[in-house]
Structure 1
Amino acid sequence: MNTDGADESSWELDPEDESGAVIATVGRQLKMWREASGLDRAKFGERMGYGANLIYKIERGARIPRPEFLDKADEVLGAGGKIAAMKTDVESARYPKKVRDLAKLESQAVEIGAYDTFVVSGLLQIEEYARALYGVRRPAFSENEVERLVAARLARQGVIHRDPAPLLTVVQEEAVLRRPLGGKMVLRRQLEHLLEVGSLRHVELQVMPTCVEEHAGLAGSFKVMRLNDGTTVGHNEVQLVSRLITEPKEVQVLDMRYGMIRAQALTPRESLSFIEKVLGET
């Protein structure tokens, strides 16, 4: 039986996320089905294979149940598919709100441009790299939160393989390619993945060498997205702030700045050769 502290059948829920109302409703429904079956939390948890404390948290809306949890609950409580059907509602609340909002914009984009200074761009991270990145955050994330964030990051990457896929351009600092987050083997696999994705026809990956004298991106990372309705928006995430930028003059500055950054970086072909060189040295 899983203990609540190490349980992987649910995610922590941000109390400020409006999807909490959905999760609270799902929790109440689960509680009603459990009580109608004459089971207390301990007995229900035993049949489910989880601790009573986890059952309590899910029922009061403090945890987001995983799809397999709802499937098992449907079976144990004899709900005839009614509990399992709630997976569709839960899916909308599976990831943090800021991630859902960003993923929605990316799904509407015909072009995505990203400049990243300290880590590999989120759309290009492999699972081990993302897990290592969230693992070193301080204050530390719980295991459940790490799992939720990693899953959300990987889910966003589906936009790369969408048909039709958006044009994706990414500029990475040279130092990012040498920083061994997760260890040398994780870095090697990450570099190999960059080479693989960078060879796609709709992806242009560029490296900003540390030795450049003129650099338009010293103010930090940001993203520019051209949407299918013709508008352009910016996105900036720093420390505790995730900000969508829609004011035309601010977007214009980011767009101009990104163009200058790309002009100052190595060309896509030179960049792939550079990454191959770094991989050989790692």
Structure 2
Amino acid sequence: MSVDGEAVRLRSEADEPGWEVDPDDEWGVAVITTVGRQLKLRREAAGLRAAEFGKAVGYGEDLVYKVEGGKRIPRQDYLIRADELLDAGGLVAATWEDVKRVRYPKKVRDIAKLEAQAVEIGVYVCNSISGLLQTPEHARALFHAAQPPYSPDDVERMVAARTARGAIFERDPAPSVSFVLEEATLLREVGGTMVWRGQLERLLEVGQLRNITLQVMPTKTDAHPGVDGKIEVLKFADGTAVGRSDGAFNGRPTSEPKLLRILELRYGTIRAQALTPRDSLAFIEHLLLGET
């Protein structure tokens, strides 16, 4: 394939690392297998060999076979080009609505699903800013700092997944959400000064929403029940709840009433020791002004 006489290099696996299907993700495997089968049947009905089809959409033959075999997650541009080439009338392109969810790890999807259903959420994180509050730039800097390093494609997938969780702030009716953040995590300039300032501005923006309570835990304070790590409690409209803590029950989610009461007691104690919401927002404003 060429454009204005110049050869066009087709995309290969080296260009698209990190888009493999997790074999343990049953729903993800089912989605990608179904989409791949549909693409293969339409391609064969159109009388196109895999190599011809690949050249037409800008992908190597090996990737075409892997997408059709349910081994690779197709990108949106692949589905759009395939739809046009196969004259599918938008049906192939529309599969992106399901495919894009499969890009995110199953664990992240499960968390996001619970958060999307909860009417009340309480979160304390010891060593970082909650993922629900992170800007894309802040999240990207954290993923780039990981060792061993993630591939650039993996980083972008995880940033997109983390950012998508922020949709809970746009829900109607809105859930009641409370956060407790450690002062030390606000002082760390993750991603550099501009990214850090953007993250603080995001906290101020979210902290002023009527359904959000944001509190800062001062570094110069006594020990509290959250020093072992994250605590999260989610409550639902039917009266049920789910909670977990890094420092309890092996970090596993629990819905047992007795254990939930323990988590709620710990979270309540943490909130009582933290700055008030008003003082917390004032503290963040002072950080932005360089007054602390």
Q: Give runs of ≥4 in structure 1 deviating > 6 Å.
A: none
1:133 maps to what in 2?
A: 142
Q: Rate the CA distance shift 1:144–1:235 in 2: closer, same or farther, 3 A.
A: farther
* 2:30 matches 1:17: no
Deviations 1:168-209 (A, max 9, x none): 110011111112222221111001110111111111111111
Q: Give CA-to-partner distance per residue, 1:145-182, whole Å, 9 cap, x none.
A: 22222111111111111111111110011111112222
Equivalent AA in structure 1 for residue 233 of structure 2: V
> Is the Cα–Cα contact under 8 Å of residues 167 and 203 in structure 1 kept in the other structure?
yes
Contact 1:12–1:145 (CA<8 Å) still a contact in 2?
no
Q: Say yes or no: does 1:111 pair with 2:120.
A: yes
Q: Which amino acid aligns with 2:260?
A: V
Q: Distance in 2 between matches of 1:264 and 1:113?
A: 15
Q: Percent identity?
A: 54
Q: How many pairs does the alignment contain?
A: 279
Structure-to-structure mapping, 1:1-282, within 5 angstroms: 1=9, 2-7=11-16, 11-18=19-26, 19-236=28-245, 243-281=252-290
Flag the 1:242–1:17 CA change in 2: closer, same or farther, 3 A.
farther
Rg comparison, structure with higher value: 2
Q: Which moved further from structure 2: 19-28 or 241-250?
A: 241-250
Please give the alpha-carbon distance, in whole angstroms, between the structure 2 residues aligned to 1:175 and 1:49: 48
Q: Distance in 2 between matches of 1:124 and 1:47?
A: 42
Distance across 2 between alignment mates of 1:52 and 1:279: 52
SS in 2 for 1:262: helix
SS of the aligned residue for 1:257 comes to: helix
Instruction: Give 1 or 2: higher strand fraction.
Output: 1
Check whether the contact 1:98–1:242 (CA below 8 A) recurs between aligned residues. no
Q: The residue matched to 1:65 in structure 2 has which SS? A: coil
Unaligned runs of 5+ in 2: 1-8
Give, in angstroms, the shift of residue 35 of structure 1: 2.8
User: 5+ unaligned residues in a row in structure 1: which ranges?
Assistant: none
Q: Is residue 240–residue 255 contact of structure 2 (8 Å, CA) maintained in 1?
A: no
Q: Is the 8 A contact 1:129 1:181 kept in 2?
A: yes
Q: Give distance in 1, aligned partners of 2:230 and 2:268.
A: 14
Letter aligned with residue 54 of structure 1: L
State the distance in 2 between where 1:6 and 1:119 align.
Answer: 32
SS in 2 for 1:32: helix
* Matching residue's letter, 1:260: T
Asked whether the 8 Å contact 2:228–2:246 carries over to 1, the reply is: no
Which whole-Å deviations, capped at 9, do the CAs of 1:9-39 have from their partners, x for residues lacking one?
x833222111212211211221222233333
Q: Aligned with 2:285: secondary structure?
A: helix
1:214–1:264 Cα contact (<8 Å) kept: no
Say whether the 8 Å CA contact 2:121–2:234 is kept in structure 1. Answer: yes
Which whole-Å CA distance do the structure 2 matches of 1:50 and 1:183 have between them? Answer: 37
Structure 2 CA distance for partners of 1:177 and 1:93, relative to 1, 3 Å? same
Of residues 26-35 and 81-90 in structure 1, the stretch that sits farther from structure 2 once superposed is 81-90
Partners of 2:277 and 2:20 in 1: how far apart?
A: 40
Q: CA deviation at 1:129?
A: 0.8
Q: CA deviation at 1:42?
A: 3.1
TM-score, length of structure 1 as denominator length? 0.90
Superposition deviation, residue 236 in structure 1: 4.3
Separation in 2, partners of 1:256, 1:193: 29
TM-score (norm 2): 0.87
Of structures 1 and 2, the one scoring higher in RCO (CA 8 A, sep 6+) is 1
Q: Measure how far apart 1:237 and its partner are.
A: 6.3
